Amino acid sequence: MINVAVLDDIKAYIRVDDDDAQVQSLIDAADGYLVNAGAVKDEMNPLYLLAIKMLVSHWYDNREPIGNAQKLAFGLSDIITQLKYCYGGDADASG
């Protein structure tokens, strides 16, 4: 679980004043998503937090039946790749 200061920062990023439980559940899911994608979990890394914000924003804004949501922003894929290979992830990826 990410700390309260991060929760407040993400709520400001997605322009939500309340709904703490829903936002926290999306933060937890985004955190798991990034770890499963191979990203190195580092809550002090601004790039990691940006990826969390992007995922939470997308999921919060697209709460609709599966199959109707738009594809995640292309930039998120690049961020996950950097988090995976540039911050202590798969050491064999560099060659």
- 17-59 pLDDT, tens digit each: 888 899 999 999 999 999 988 888 888 999 999 999 999 998 8
Rg of the chain over Cα atoms, rounded to whole angstroms, equals: 14
Contact 93, 85 (CB under 8 A): yes
Average pLDDT, the chain: 81
Helices (H) and strands (E) in the chain — how many of each?
4, 0
Phi-psi region at 3: left, alpha or beta (left = phi > 0; alpha = psi -120 to 50): beta
| Chain Cα centroid distance, residue 72 | 11
